[in-house]
Structure 1
Amino acid sequence: MGLVVDDGSEEVVEVYGLMGNETGFGALVKQMEAEVVDMNPNVNGPFLLLILPVTSISHYTPTTNPPQQKSNPFLSSFPDDIRTKVVDKILQSFLHLRPRSRPRTAYEYLLSHTLANTNPLPLALAIIQRVLRSGCTPVPQIHLSLSSAWLDHRQTHSIVDILNEMRSIGYHPDCNTCNYLLSSLCAVDQSAEAIRVLKDMDGAGCNPDSESYGTVIGVMCKARKTGDVAELMSEMVTKFGLMPRQGTVIKTVAAMRANREIVRAVDMVEFLEKKGCSIGFEAYVTVVNGCLERREFILAGKVLMEMAERGFIPYIRVRQRVVEGLASVGEGALASAVRQRFADLNS
């Protein structure tokens, strides 16, 4: 089977037999064998046979069908500290491969094996970091196993301590790794823990970004926990100076509308506007429709005027309903102002 290495040469390695030549992958395997035997002299048998289920998969060309996964007594036989060193050596060996996504299947083997161990953290987080930096995404099943491992470890460790444990094995926690952790927790209905991670991750040197907040806020919006949503929106803008994405704003005001908290939705839009956040057309329309549903015609008129200031022209039926509603509650002056404002925009 053809195995392509970075220097352009090609080795032929029998799946469960040969070590290859002295360059590229064959040399790497021999080097790792010497180092691992030095760490644990009790290792017996051909090293390639022991490690192949993890490493060789990464080198198969797209036209080669990888062998079916088999149990890997090699990694399971070591204590945690030695296993961590071996896995780190494997991860380091993938850095020179191009494209960076080539070891994807090997990453999956390593991650699945690590999460199946009794002490998967912080090594699993380090592997996830490498997977993400290679441009790949772990398989969906990892969300559950990572969340389970995280919650087990959290019984005796703080969030900051767990993230900082990555430094003890030569890795550094970053925002992308934390974002994947957040998405995993949210995927298994652990939004409360996700909020705690979001609030504490900066203590490990990982300032959250718009994706961090967007992931958690999105889940909270589905659950209609608008109090938590408003708090998180305020925190991301005020504390970190982040601007929420349009999708996050839409989900926020839609959740408030669904909860019949339209005044809170209007307040949220005003708050974001004052902070310099750009509010899109769909978010404005969502708020206006919510105002009409709750017969808050004055609020609807004010939102329409703000839309006009930003060059947005709502659907004619919406404008008509707002003008008629204002007239029905004795706000003829505001109704005329709204009508005139859109006439000025040649609508």
Structure 2
Amino acid sequence: MAIVLTKLCRTLVPLHCCLHKYRFINSISPSHALLEHVKNAVETKAYRNIPDYLISFEQACLNPNPFAFLSTLPYRLRMQVVDEILQSFIPIRPRSCAQAAYAYLLSFTLQSSNPLPLGLAILQRTLRSGCVPVAQTRLLLSSAWLECRKVESQSVSDMLFEMQSIGYNPDCSTCNYLISSLCAVDQLNEAVKLLKGMSKAGCVPDLESFDTVVGAMCTVRKTSEALDMIKKMVEKVGLTPRQGTIVKVASALRANREIWRAVELIEFLEGKDYPVGFESYDLVVKGCLDSGENILAGKMVMGMTEKGFIPYIRTRHKVVERLAGAGEWKLANAVRQRFAELRS
């Protein structure tokens, strides 16, 4: 009996060890395992493996951030490592494979103690790869930008120039994303400063830059600033405002009952040979009727028809009736005759 028990114990001991080992392996959480993989990839400079690790563990609850260990590195060394990671991702195909890696790296950097200019560099590589930053990025980016501007009291151009110190040049895509992020958190004044500071940093604002700022101005009905920006686009930069942008300005002016300024806007654009679409004309004509500027409405309608635009039937009837009711028979007949010529 003693011999049998001895043999049984010898059999159970290895089994007990195996079970203990199994419990130890399974006690490692997926996020911890991922962190170890990423950390090992950085230590061995096998950066191109990182996107694959993130894809393999995509079902894991990635908290903390898989790049969190980088916070233990000195700032200069951290910048060097992040730069090497970014450069290693460039040849990866398809580019979307690196999207999660860019997202976690950008999130970690923007929430670190020194978010810029490294955060802008990561954002630039993200956008150039065709990847779309996650929604949270806008809030983190704008917060990091405002905090750095507040603490360091640097000009916008100096902030952008800092990208060059780590081997990256500011470009329109990066600046435009920052502009839209600032506008999204009601930091319009800072967005305007950024727009004006881009040129000094060697990055000429494009149509998207201006349209984003003008659109934000119209949202809060800062019509004077929006008009000034439109004129700057046309006269100084030589850009053609998008029809959608002109519509936003015309709509804001109508809402503010600044209809004469809306008319002046159309006259300004037409005088510079910039096309104005039907919707903008329609908004201005309706604004004239709303404000009781019936004669002005008639003149605007005549201008529309010269461009080949025919107002909606309700607007046509209202313009003719208002002119007749005000005793402006000559203009009313001219408008009616014009509509007849266009068979409307």
Superposed pair shares fold, TM > 0.5: yes
1:1-347 matched pairs, under 5 angstroms = 47-48=40-41, 56-59=49-52, 65=58, 67-69=60-62, 70-71=64-65, 72-155=67-150, 156-347=153-344
Aligned length: 308
Stretches (4+) displaced over 3 A: 15-19, 49-52, 54-57, 60-68, 70-74
Aligned-residue sequence identity (percent) comes to 55
Whole-angstrom CA distance in 1 between matches of 2:35 and 2:214: 52
The answer to whether the Cα contact below 8 Å between 1:107 and 1:127 also exists between their aligned partners in 2 is: yes
2:41 counterpart letter in structure 1: L
- Provide Cα deviations, 1:187-208, integer angstroms capped at 9, x if missing partner: 1110111111112211111111
2:81 counterpart letter in structure 1: V
The answer to whether the Cα contact below 8 Å between 1:198 and 1:208 also exists between their aligned partners in 2 is: yes
Whole-angstrom CA distance in 2 between matches of 1:112 and 1:65: 16
Whole-angstrom CA distance in 2 between matches of 1:192 and 1:322: 40
1:141 counterpart letter in structure 2: Q
The answer to whether the Cα contact below 8 Å between 1:111 and 1:128 also exists between their aligned partners in 2 is: yes
Whole-angstrom CA distance in 2 between matches of 1:18 and 1:115: 22
- Provide Cα deviations, 1:194-252, integer angstroms capped at 9, x if missing partner: 11111221111111112111111111111111111111111111111111111111111
Whole-angstrom CA distance in 1 between matches of 2:221 and 2:35: 58
Structure 1 pair 310–60 and aligned structure 2 pair: CA distance change class (3 A): farther
Structure 1 pair 64–121 and aligned structure 2 pair: CA distance change class (3 A): closer
Structure 1 pair 215–113 and aligned structure 2 pair: CA distance change class (3 A): same
Whole-angstrom CA distance in 1 between matches of 2:316 and 2:68: 70
Partner of 2:9: none
SS in 2 for 1:101: helix
When you count helix as a share of all residues, which structure comes out higher?
2
The answer to whether the Cα contact below 8 Å between 1:256 and 1:264 also exists between their aligned partners in 2 is: yes
The answer to whether the Cα contact below 8 Å between 1:60 and 1:66 also exists between their aligned partners in 2 is: no
The answer to whether the Cα contact below 8 Å between 2:172 and 2:204 also exists between their aligned partners in 1 is: yes
The answer to whether the Cα contact below 8 Å between 1:101 and 1:136 also exists between their aligned partners in 2 is: yes
Structure 1 pair 63–338 and aligned structure 2 pair: CA distance change class (3 A): farther
The alpha-carbon deviation at position 331 of structure 1 amounts to: 2.3
- Structure 2-normalised TM-score? 0.83
Whole-angstrom CA distance in 2 between matches of 1:49 and 1:275: 57
The alpha-carbon deviation at position 73 of structure 1 amounts to: 4.8
SS in 2 for 1:103: helix
Unmatched tracts of structure 2, length 5 or more: 1-32
2:52 counterpart letter in structure 1: H
Structure 1 pair 175–17 and aligned structure 2 pair: CA distance change class (3 A): closer
Structure 1 pair 84–17 and aligned structure 2 pair: CA distance change class (3 A): closer
CA RMSD of aligned residues (A): 2.5
Which one is further off, 145-154 or 176-185?
145-154
SS in 2 for 1:137: coil
The answer to whether the Cα contact below 8 Å between 2:54 and 2:101 also exists between their aligned partners in 1 is: no
Which one is further off, 324-333 or 188-197?
324-333
Which of the pair has more CA radius of gyration?
2
1:218 counterpart letter in structure 2: G
Whole-angstrom CA distance in 2 between matches of 1:331 and 1:338: 11
Which one is further off, 247-256 or 65-74?
65-74
Whole-angstrom CA distance in 1 between matches of 2:267 and 2:53: 55
Whole-angstrom CA distance in 2 between matches of 1:309 and 1:99: 52
The answer to whether the Cα contact below 8 Å between 2:34 and 2:53 also exists between their aligned partners in 1 is: no
The answer to whether the Cα contact below 8 Å between 1:323 and 1:338 also exists between their aligned partners in 2 is: yes
